[in-house]
Amino acid sequence: ASKAGSAGTNSKPPFPELDFRSGARVEELNKLIQEFTKHDQREYDDQRALEIHTAKDFIFSMLGMVQKLDQKLPVANEYLLLSGGVREGVVDIDLDELNVYARGTDYDMDFTLLVPALKLHDRNQPVTLDMRHSALCHSWLSLRLFDEGTISKWKDCCTIVDHINGATNYFFSPTKVADWFYDSISIVLSEIQKKPQRGMPKVEKVEKNGTIISIILGVGSSRMLYDIVPVVSFKGWPAVAQSWLMENHFWDGKITEEEVISGFYLVPACSYKGKKDNEWRLSFARSEVQLKKCISSSLMQAYQACKAIIIKLLSRPKAISPYHLRSMMLWACDRLPANYLAQEDYAAHFLLGLIDDLQHCLVNKMCPNYFIPQCNMLEHLSEETVMLHARKLSSVRSDPAEHLRTAIEHVKAANRLTLELQRRGSTTSIPSPQSDGGDTNQPDDRLAKKLQQLVTENPGKSISVFINPDDVTRPHFRIDDKFF
C-alpha cells in the first residue's frame, strides 16, 4: 500500500466476496454455517456416552428376545445402525406416513437401525430381482429364493399368488412384516417392563409409523429415538445397478469398489403407484456409509445446514425429503473437481449450490437416484407441487443468511430444551441394563470414555453391529472399518 501511495495511485481494498443473487457476504454465510455446525454437532460427556450405550444395549437385548419369540429373525444377524432418524433422510423411505417428532421436544438424539428379517448372503453373482410388477428402484421378493424352512416360518407374512400351472408363489410382504415386527416388539417390551431392572431405560413411546417402528427411550437425562426398519439384506450388488459401476465416480481411488458394493437392502417402501403389500424399495445405505468417507467436511457442513432449512420450509405438502438432497450432493461430488470440493472455506458456495441444484430439480421435476439414474425420484409429483416448492426455495436463495439464522435459532432452542430436561432429570450415573446395581465404575466408565472418543472422532458415521442373541451382553460393533 505504501509503495502504491508513493507512486501517486489510489489503492482500494479488495471488495468483499458477495453472492450475486442475494447480495449476502460469503464470509458472513460461512460464519453462520460454522455457528450452525457448532450447535448441531454437540460433544457428549461421559454421562451422555454411557446413556447412548445403555439405550443401544437395551435395543439389542430387545431384538434378541424378538428372535427367540418365534425364531423368525436370523440367529446370527447383522444390523446397520445409522446416525439420524428416518426423518433425517438416512434411508429412502417416504415421510408422509410418519408422525412428526422434533429434536428437543420429543427426543435428544436419533438413530435408524436396519434389522434384516431375511438374508441372502451366499451370492457372488449380481443379484437379479423380480421387477416385472414394480416401478424402477423397487422389487417384489419371492420366497422361492429360500429353503422350505424359511418359507414355512414366514408364510403368514406373505401375499400368495396361485399360478395357472398350480404352483403357489409366496411374496414377502413389507406391510405384513412390519405388522409382525411391531406386534413382536410390543410383546417383548411388555414382558421386559414386568420385570424392570435397575438402570433400565424407560420406554416413553412405541409407535408404528407406516412400515417402521419408532421407539423413544428415556435413559437418565437423555431421550433416544430409534427408528427400527425391517429389511431384506443382500451381499453383492443388484443387476439393475450394474451399469452405474461402469461410470467414473468421485470415490474412485479413495475407497475400493469391493467396499462400495459389499451389499444392499430392500426396505419396506413402495413406489407412488405400487402395491404396498408386495413392493420393496432398493436401498444402498451400506454403500452410502462408505461414500461419506470421501465427502469433505465443508460440503457436509453445507449439506447439514441446507437440510435443516428445507426440512422446515418444504414440509407441506411432503414432496421433498432430505434423501433427495443427499442424492443431489452425491451427484455434485461426481460433477465437480475434488480439489474444489475440498476447499475448507467454501461451505457458503456449497450451500448456495445445493439450493440451486434442488430448485433446478424441482423446476425440471427430475431427481435421478444416484445408484440407479434411470429412476427419477420426483416423477410422481404434480406440476403444482413442484412449482410451490420451487417458489419457496426462491425465497431462501434471495436471503440465505436470514434462513440460516432461523435454522441456528431452531437448533439452539432444541438444545435449550435438552439442557432443561437434563437439569430436571437424573444427574447420577446409571448402570447398564445387565448390571445388578453393584460397582458401575468398572467397566462402564472405561466404556463411556471410549464411546465419547468414538462419538467425537466419528461425527455422523454409521455403525454395523454383529450380535449373538444368545449372548446379548457382548455386542460387537464397527464404525466404518474399525472394530470395537
Q: What are the residue boundaries of the structural domains of the chain, listed by start?
A: 32-405
Query: What is the reported pLDDT for 196?
Result: 81
| pLDDT band (50, 70, 90) for residue 5 | very low
Distance of CA 82 to the CA centre of its chain: 5
Query: What is the reported pLDDT for 193?
Result: 86
Query: What is the reported pLDDT for 454?
Result: 60
3-state SS of the chain?
CHHHHHCCCCCCCCCCCECCCCCCEHHHHHHHHHHHHHHHCCCCCHHHHHHHHHHHHHHHHHHHHHHHHHCCCCCCEEEEEEECCHHHCCCCCCCCCCCCCCECCCECEEEEEEEEEEEECCCCCCECCECCCCCCCEEECEHHHCCHHHHHHHHHHEEEEECCCCCEEEEECHHHHHHHHHHHHHHHHHHHHHCCCCCCCEEEEEEEECCEEEEEEEECCEEEEEEEEEEEEEECCEHHHHHHHHCCCCCECCECHHHHCCEEEEECCCCCCCCCCCCEEEECHHHHHHHHCCCCHHHHHHHHHHHHHHHHHCCCCCCCCHHHHHHHHHHHHHHCCHHHHCCCCCHHHHHHHHHHHHHHHHHHCCCECCCCCCCECCCCCCHHHHHHHHHHHHHHHHCHHHHHHHHHHHHHHHHHHHHHHHHHCCCCCCCCCCCCCCCCCCCHHHHHHHHHHHHHHCCCCCEEEEECCCCCCCCEEEECCEEC
Please give the share of the chain, as a percent, with pLDDT higher than 90: 63
Q: How many CB atoms lie within 10 A of CB 274?
A: 17
| pLDDT band (50, 70, 90) for residue 470 | very low
Residue range 41-57: mean pLDDT, rounded:
83
| pLDDT band (50, 70, 90) for residue 11 | low
Residue range 433-460: mean pLDDT, rounded:
46
Query: What is the reported pLDDT for 206?
Result: 96
- pLDDT per residue as tens digits for the range 16-46: 899 898 899 999 999 999 999 999 987 667 7
Q: Cβ distance 392 to 314 under 8 Å?
A: yes
Which range, 166-175, 280-289, 419-428, has the best average confidence (pLDDT)? Answer: 280-289
Query: What is the reported pLDDT for 6?
Result: 46
Query: What is the reported pLDDT for 4?
Result: 45
Query: What is the reported pLDDT for 10?
Result: 58
CB half-sphere exposure, 127, CA atoms < 13 A: 25
Query: What is the reported pLDDT for 308?
Result: 94
Query: What is the reported pLDDT for 41?
Result: 84
pLDDT at residue 453 above 80?
no
| pLDDT band (50, 70, 90) for residue 290 | very high
| Strand 158-162 with 222-235, pairing | unpaired
Residue range 173-202: mean pLDDT, rounded:
93
Strand partners, 477: 465
> CATH assignment of 32-405?
3.30.460.90
Query: What is the reported pLDDT for 443?
Result: 39
Q: Which amino acid is at 96?
A: D
CA–CA dist 308, 292 (Å, integer)? 18
Residue with the larger pLDDT of the pair 14 and 450: 14
Residue range 144-173: mean pLDDT, rounded:
85
Distance of CA 28 to the CA centre of its chain: 30
Query: What is the reported pLDDT for 236?
Result: 86
Query: What is the reported pLDDT for 301?
Result: 97
Nearest CA to 59 among 212, 203, 197? 203
| Strand 202-209 with 212-219, pairing | antiparallel
CA–CA dist 354, 322 (Å, integer)? 12
Residue range 50-73: mean pLDDT, rounded:
93
For the chain, the maximum distance between any two Cα atoms, rounded to a whole number of angstroms, is 99
Helix 26-40 with 297-313: angle, nearest 10 deg: 80
Provide the mean pLDDT of the chain. 85
Query: What is the reported pLDDT for 75?
Result: 87
* Residue 431 cell numbers, joined: 448402570
Query: What is the reported pLDDT for 427?
Result: 36
Tell me the whole-structure pTM to 2 decimals.
0.84
Residue partners of 441: CB distance under 8 A and separation at least 6 = none
Q: Rounded to a whole number, what is the distance in angstroms from the first to the last CA of the chain? A: 58
Residue with the larger pLDDT of the pair 28 and 97: 28
Residue range 332-336: mean pLDDT, rounded:
97
CA–CA dist 430, 437 (Å, integer)? 9
pLDDT at residue 451 above 80?
no
pLDDT at residue 152 above 50?
yes
Residue range 265-281: mean pLDDT, rounded:
94
Residue range 441-456: mean pLDDT, rounded:
50
Q: How many CB atoms lie within 10 A of CB 50?
A: 27
* Residue 426 cell numbers, joined: 437424573
Residue with the larger pLDDT of the pair 130 and 414: 414
CA–CA dist 475, 151 (Å, integer)? 29
Query: What is the reported pLDDT for 69?
Result: 92
Query: What is the reported pLDDT for 320?
Result: 87
Query: What is the reported pLDDT for 2?
Result: 45
pLDDT at residue 164 above 80?
no
CA–CA dist 101, 42 (Å, integer)? 19
Query: What is the reported pLDDT for 342?
Result: 96
Query: What is the reported pLDDT for 89?
Result: 92
Query: What is the reported pLDDT for 455?
Result: 56
CA–CA dist 196, 479 (Å, integer)? 31
Query: What is the reported pLDDT for 458?
Result: 61
